[in-house]
Structure 1
Amino acid sequence: MGKTESGAIWLDGSMLKPYDYWQYFRNVDDQDVSSFLRLFTDLPISEIKKLESLQDQEINEAKKILATEITKICHGKEEAERVKSAAVATFENADSSLLHEYALNKKQVINGIALIDLLCATKLESSKNAAKRLIQAKGCKINDNIVFNVDYIISYKDFTSKSFIKLSAGKKRHIKCCIEGADTIH
């Protein structure tokens, strides 16, 4: 939880997407999981004690439960399950149908859109300078392939046989960029 508005954990879904809310709690420090389960969830103490006994990689299961339970309270059960499924799809390389979507019109794709501009438009990055730094640090991916060129232009060739691309900023921020009204490209 940061000092700036961009680092705040907002309860309002219009200020912080439920997916990002879930991700925040999924990524808390291991040492905070126990106290957060006790403070922020309605889980029975017996279940919390079982989760507290998890060690090493198993603690990640407790973090997923923590994130889902907290998201249920703030955004509802259905939304919590949806964002959990989206996270699993994103990080376990499954179907990307649950990722947040950003619509591109065909004209943008035909003309080409600068990757830096798309990173800003999708709010994966807050500025063009931040987008450039991300690319230079090899933290930007299109369809899980690292982009090395800060002047990269996204065009139809990036969409392969699908009507969307998966755009990633770092390991934890992803968005599905779709061409409006397109089922497939070819």
Structure 2
Amino acid sequence: MQKYSLPLRLLHWLTALLVFGLFGVGLWMRNLGYYDPLYQVLPYWHKSVGFLLCALVVVRLLTRAVGRSPGPLASHRPWERGLAHAMHLLLYGLLFGLFASGYLIATADNRPASFFGWFDIPVLITPFPDQEDIAGLLHEYFAWSLIGLVALHAAAALKHHWRDKDDTLKRML
């Protein structure tokens, strides 16, 4: 069995952990009142970890581009290969949609966004009317869509492991 490289496996699972963590924190933040002590703290961490996730996804794509990944298993049917490819494109597309919309939310007040207080991420786009609201709505749609596709992705991996009894899941563990 040919496994994915250790860097790709670590980046895969770290991405998954951060996606679920950010999603949970995002849901929690929506219900915070102005006087809640976490009202300022959670958005700060959510933005910084979101920027970190963006960097990790870029590193993951570069690692994948320069390294060799195992090809599909011989037992995978053509439609499964096509669906898996489309699923990965959608997952990455939604991630980058989340990054872009999150950036637009963070810079809607025309001030740079802080990355853990280490440095600022500059405002690159002149804010437009209702930017925070529009980007916020897109961010929410992208987040729910991503979680739905991640659930399908996990279900497909489990289907391969339990029903098809192939090495699809084992190659990423």
TM interval, short-chain normalised: under 0.3
Please give the TM-score of this superposition, normalised by the length of structure 1.
0.23
Higher strand share: 1
Greater relative contact order (Cα 8 A, min sep 6): structure 1 or 2? 2
